[in-house]
Every structure is written in structure tokens, then in C-alpha cells.
Amino acid sequence: MLELIRGLSRIAPQAEFILLTQAASHDELANLDGKNVRRMMVAGQQDLVDGQAFAQCLNLNRVYRLFTFVKRRLIQGACKVCRVFKYEDGRHVLLKVGVDLLFCPFTAPTFFEQGIPTVCTIYDLQFATYPQFFEPEEVAHRKNAFLNACQKATLLVAISDYSRGSAITYGKLAPNQIKTIALRMAQRMLPFKPESTHILDRIGVSPQRYLLYPANFWQHKNHEILLTAFQMACTQGLPQDIKLVCTGAPSSRKEFIQTVAEAFELGHRIVFPGYLSNTELSTVLNDACGLVFPSLYEGFGLPVIEAMAAGVPVACSNVTSLPEVAGNAALFFDPKEPDDIAQALIDLVNDKALRHQLIEKGHRQAKLYSDTERMVSEYWGVFESILSGHEAQKP
């Protein structure tokens, strides 16, 4: 989103871009301010507190355990009420400012106004495929945001053909209601400072002697199966000095996964460095001997294409959007089969011919997703087309 805002302001200097923000993120987005970009806070801290307190009061998951159908309908109603509480300052802001088009990069058309063209971005429908990975309130919230976008958007944008197809099926959309604009940011993790290796020393790994999995510890990221597979690989031919690095922000899930690693007696071979800055992650990615990506569900899978751009061979899941994004440039495995993953890890490290092949194909595949200006231009083309049609329809 940050890349898109910077790009739009650059290619469309004649347009003004107003970022509708909330108190929690308003100040940290100040670096986006420019000649044609400004921020407008539409949700103050008090609005957020009131909305959160109201949501807590309506924790229907505990109250209506036996009435799932009724509970979900009530939660959806609570979501709508909470939106009113949370964005009270933002009501009718589009009419007040006189905007020409509303772009909703986080799917939900929160500030929708009748008569103003609206574009919403769809990332994935994981809530529909794996509802068990979310609390019922979160499923209801995500479903409500998606269906509202389907109902109110002039046009939807999906980040992959897989996400587009999922949205068409689940939302019962006509194909012309949603367009694919891929995440063309493969170059995002190329080295900032190639000579900077202090992060490797800090986390206790050596260049080219570790596999990397850059993912937060959400359930769909499938860490338990990966650790099982890594343990198997360690006994089936993976060199003894190869480690597994799992980045990701601190959480209760991270602590749980660490206990799993200790139970497997792999504490010395699995590294949990926590959250890494972009500069640190870039170094860790570029010095890895391979990227492993066993996710059960991805709307796109940006780390896969970032690794390819960096010349790092990739082994990844053969499900959802990943075959589309990785093309023929990855070693695929079934993410639910530890045996399959274990063999992929061994081959990725030990098979020099395969590694060379994957790196060469990866560079070519990454070029398909490296033109950020194209991504920006495609979004701007959508905006211009919609505005032109909107103007033509005016009496």
C-alpha cells in the first residue's frame, strides 16, 4: 500500500490523494505527505476506545455457544454498529471534502457514499476456506467486509487470479466485476547493504547454511508441519550444520511453536529471531541457502517472488495462489505431508543441479513481478476508466 501511494502521487501529479487515517497510525504515515498527498484523521483515539469497548461488551462467542446461526447474524450486526462507533468522525467525509473516487485498499468500503465511485482490493478469502483458524467474530467481520465490498464497489481488484476466482465463486460475482492487479514488488527485498552481516552474527547463523521461513505465526502458515518435516529431514540426509530460521513477531503462537521445536530436541537448529526490520530481513533473505514456504493458504505469496529476485532457490506449497505466482521456478510440495516437505528440504540443499536450475528460473519468474510502475499504472488506469464512465453517466 505504501508503494502504491508513493507511485500514484508520482504518476498523477495533477490529482490530490487524501489518506483517511485513525489516531493509532496517523503520525507514522507522515512520511507520505507531499505536494499532492495529505492525511486526514477520521477516527480519534476516543472513537477507537469506544468501539473496542462496545465490541467487548458484545462478545457473543461466549454467550451464544449453542446458537451458531443466530450468533453469526448477531455478530454481523455488531460489526456494523461498531463501525458507526469507530468512525463517527468520518461520516460523510467524502461529501464534505468533495472527492471524486473512494479507494479502499483494505477491502471494507467503510466510508462509502452513494454516488461516489468506489474501488476495493480483495486479498484473499481465507476465512471461507479455513474458518477454524479464526474466532467467530473475526469470520463474521471478514465476511461482512467482503460482501459489503461486493455490493458497493464499482469495481473490485484482486491481487492474483486465484483470489479473483475465489471471489467470483464465493461472492457470486460476474467476471467483469473484478480485475486482477498483481503485487509487482519482487525487488523489495534486494540487499540494502550487502556488506551488513551483523544480523547473522546476532541470530547465530552462517551465510548459505540456513533455510528461511519469513512468516508470522498464524495458523495457516503451518509451522507445526514444517517443524515435523525439518526433524525428519535432519535424520534423512540434511547436512548437520543447516539451520532453519523462522522470523515473525512475538505472540503466544510463537511461544507455542518454540516449545514444539524444543520437544523435537531441535532447539539448537531452529532459530526464532523475532520481528526483523526490512534491512535485517533483506540481509537474512539474501544470505539464505533456500526459502521454504509451507503455507496452507496465500492470496499471493510475496516472499516467494522476493526470494527468486534475490537469487534464492524456493521450495513451496502447491496450493492456492502459489503455483500461479511461482510458475515453474519452485520445488513444490504438499503442505499437509511432512514426508513431502522433508524431501524438498533435502533436495533444495543437497542437489546442486536443481539449485542452479531453480535460481535461473527464479530470476526469470521474478521479472514478471518486478515492475512496480506497471502495478501503479494499472491501478491508476482503473481509477481513470471508472471516473470517465462516471462522468459520462452524469445528466
157 membership: H or E segment, kind and range: strand 155-158
Per residue of the chain (395 residues), give pLDDT as tens: 999 999 999 999 999 999 999 999 999 999 999 999 999 999 875 544 444 433 333 443 443 333 444 444 444 554 554 454 444 455 688 999 999 999 999 999 999 999 999 999 999 999 999 999 999 999 999 999 999 999 999 999 999 999 999 999 999 999 999 999 999 998 887 765 555 678 999 999 999 999 999 999 999 999 999 999 999 999 999 999 999 999 999 999 999 999 999 999 988 999 999 999 988 999 999 999 999 999 999 999 999 999 999 999 999 999 999 999 999 999 999 999 999 999 999 999 999 999 999 999 999 999 999 999 999 999 999 999 999 986 556 55
Query: What CATH architecture applies to the domain 2-184+372-393?
Result: 3-Layer(aba) Sandwich (3.40)
Give residue 92's pLDDT.
84
Cα gap 395→392, rounded to integer Å = 8
Interatomic CA distance for residues 214 and 198, integer angstroms: 18
What is residue 88's predicted lDDT score, i.e. its pLDDT? 47
Give the residue ranges of DSSP H helices in the chain: 2-11, 23-26, 45-57, 60-63, 68-86, 93-97, 126-129, 136-152, 161-171, 198-203, 223-235, 252-263, 278-286, 302-309, 322-326, 338-350, 352-367, 372-393
Q: Decide if domain 186-367 falls under CATH 3.40.50.10320.
A: no
DSSP element (H, E) containing 247:
strand 243-247
Q: Which amino acid is at 204?
A: G
Angstrom distance (rounded) from CA 15 to CA 8: 9
User: What pLDDT is attached to residue 43?
Assistant: 80
With contact defined as beta carbons under 8 Å apart, do 119 and 382 qualify?
yes
**Nearest one of 340, 362, 359, 339 to 351, comparing CA atoms:** 359
Residue 49 has a pLDDT of 41
CA angle 4-83-162, nearest 5°?
45
Report pTM.
Answer: 0.87
Burial class (CB in 10 A: 0-12, 13-18, 19+), 30: exposed
**Spatial distance between the Cα atoms of 294 and 335, rounded to a whole number of angstroms:** 5
Ranges of each domain in the chain: 2-184+372-393, 186-367
> Quick one: cell of 26?
496517523
The two domains 2-184+372-393 and 186-367 share their CATH topology (first three levels equal): yes
pLDDT of residue 225: 98
pLDDT of residue 64: 36
